[in-house]
């Protein structure tokens, strides 16, 4: 079991390694809306207020302009059928469950 101090240490290590954050579509759209509504603050200040990078906010803004205000997510729309999309979702859920099981096995040792 990870205690609070170990958790904080892990969080700090993740930040040191500059691990890529992943954001949901709604957050990206809200971030773009915030930036558009507060342009006087500038890109850097808006990104800082949102807790994201200038590069990410800039990219989301450009994508929103190109897609009529909607920010596309990674791999969205790459499936030929709903069945293919569902299969990909289920494969991801299976991988996540397998990863969680592996972590639990290691913790039990």
pLDDT in tens, 30-75: 899 899 888 899 999 999 999 999 999 999 999 888 877 666 665 5
Given a cut of 50, whether residue 1 has pLDDT beyond it is no
Statement to judge: residues 66 and 26 lie in one domain: yes
4 falls within a domain: no
Per the structure, the complete domain to which residue 109 belongs is given by 77-109
Assess whether pLDDT exceeds 70 at residue 85: yes
Residue 28 · residue 19 · CB < 8 Å: no
Structural domains of the chain, count: 2
Q: Can you tell me the distance from the alpha carbon of 91 to that of 71, in angstroms, rounded to the nearest whole number?
A: 24
Q: For residues 24 and 10, what is the distance between their CA atoms, to the nearest angstrom?
A: 23
> For the chain, what percentages of helix, strand and coil (3-state, to nearest 5) are there?
70, 0, 30
Q: What is the pTM of this model?
A: 0.49
Query: Mean pLDDT across the stretch 78-85?
Result: 74
Q: What are phi and psi of 49, to 5 degrees?
A: -60, -35
């Amino acid at each position: 079991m990870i205690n609070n101090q170990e958790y904080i240490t892990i969080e700090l290590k993740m930040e040191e390694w500059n691990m890529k954050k992943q954001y949901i579509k709604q957050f990206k759209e809200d971030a773009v809306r915030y930036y558009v509504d507060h342009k006087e603050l500038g890109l850097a200040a808006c990104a800082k207020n949102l807790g994201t990078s200038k590069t990410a906010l800039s990219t989301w803004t450009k994508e929103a302009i190109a897609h009529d205000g909607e920010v596309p997510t990674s791999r969205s729309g790459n499936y030929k059928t709903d069945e293919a999309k569902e299969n990909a979702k289920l494969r991801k859920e299976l991988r996540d469950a397998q990863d969680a099981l592996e972590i639990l096995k290691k913790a039990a040792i």
